[in-house]
Chain A
Amino acid sequence: MHQYSSQSDDELLLRLRNGDDQAFTALYRRRQAAIYRFALHMGGSTAAAEDIVQEVFLALLREQCGFDPERGTLSGYLFGIARKLVLRNLERGRSSVSLESETDEAGPRELAVVDDPLAGLTRHETIEALRRAVQALPRRYREVVVLCDLEELDYADAAVALGCPIGTVRSRMHRARALLLEKLHQDRKPKLAVDAWKPMRYAI
């Protein structure tokens, strides 16, 4: 198995197409966790997330899986399949997260919140508050936040997964963050004062 760890996704895909089960295992172990988490963040149900992981990788086994290396990475492609399955589940109501109305699709607007809505929260409180806020986002903003912020895909891979231009990913990210800040600001407790957070690399 060790010999597979240095191989690219595309190389592993080629090997598994030739019946190499270790290549399949290596590719699965490399990519399954992110797909599973994406499905969990988007759908909220562990059973549905398991099924989505299964179906995503089963799709790879089919000869006509449709992956084209010219159009993007395998990772972006796998997220794209997972996203379609998540949407299908949401439409069928097999999810603890609702498929919200998509009326909030106005263009990017200025961030209305100018103070830090997370200041004073403990780490646990921050994570819980943020998770709730992410779950409450309209689907198209939630998916871009999950892909780019939580799974740390670059915008190009996210664009492949979402089937949209990179510019759309950027604008949705901007809008999603504005919505998150508004939501957090609304939920903020007045007693909080301690500055619990240190901004990480994404900083000046």
Chain B
Amino acid sequence: MNCQEFWDHLPGPGHEITPSQSAHLTECATCAAQWTPHRALAAGLHSIAEEWRQTEAPPRVEAGLMASFRAQAGYQVQRSFARSWWTPVVAWASAAAATIALAVVLVRGYQPAPAGPGRVAAPHRTVLPVAEMASAEDDDTSALGEGFVRLPNAPRIESNEDYNVVRVEVPGSAMIAAGISLGEDRAAETVLADVALAADGTPRAVRLVPEGGTY
């Protein structure tokens, strides 16, 4: 083994050098001298890795992601109350959307794209203004801002709770199911929505983002 081969084939961090590399160090004073600071450097880098071992993303990131995951599934929350008053709404909305799509096909020969799972945009953290939170009235969603609708069977929204708002893309049918007024012809589209998440990451309320993208 020559010097070039020795340095080119060093094992990755945490691995021993091979016997042939070790033999090269005993034969080559130059490489042996350079190897000493190299070992110290590896040890120092390992110390940084140890120092940072416990560093991880804050819990709010997981909460936001879980909300997006649930939103992508079209709010298919697997709970016992899933079959409640709004279940027929979903059925009727789906039926209406299918009827309209069929009518379009018959009249115009248009082939609508199948509705895939909702594409999800990156959620962003939003700190709700204190003034808004304090002005909660009877409508508990007023604490969240304009246009929010509490999700079916979600707990009441308390004005002193912390919320994150994430912006996601969801199927229009899911918005209809949540009670948002949306044209039935948009049931198969994906639409932008703001979802208000409680501190535990559960979605509480939702609002449709208008075409302009801002509230």
Contacts and interface: CB of A to CB of B under 8 A. Distances in A.
Contact of A116 (B25, B40, B49, B125): B40
A117 interface: yes
B42 A200 contact: yes
Contacts of A25: 62, 66
Interface residues of A, number: 64
B65 interface: yes
B61 A199 contact: no
B38 interface: yes
Between A25, A28, A198, A200, the greatest number of chain B beta carbons within 10 A of the residue's beta carbon is seen for A200
B119 interface: yes
B34 A33 contact: no
A77 interface: no
B36 A114 contact: yes
A194 B61 CA distance: 43
A74 to B, nearest CB: 16
A58 B40 contact: no
Contact of B16 (A61, A177, A180, A201): A201
A186 to B, nearest CB: 13
Given A150-B48, A152-B49, A197-B43, A174 B65 contact: no
16 contacts: A21-B69, A32-B56, A32-B57, A53-B57, A54-B64, A57-B65, A58-B122, A61-B69, A149-B13, A149-B49, A170-B8, A174-B7, A177-B41, A184-B41, A197-B43, A204-B35
Given A111-B37, A202-B16, 17 more contacts: A25-B62, A32-B61, A36-B57, A51-B124, A58-B65, A62-B119, A62-B120, A63-B116, A116-B36, A123-B47, A126-B44, A127-B44, A127-B48, A150-B49, A171-B8, A199-B40, A202-B43
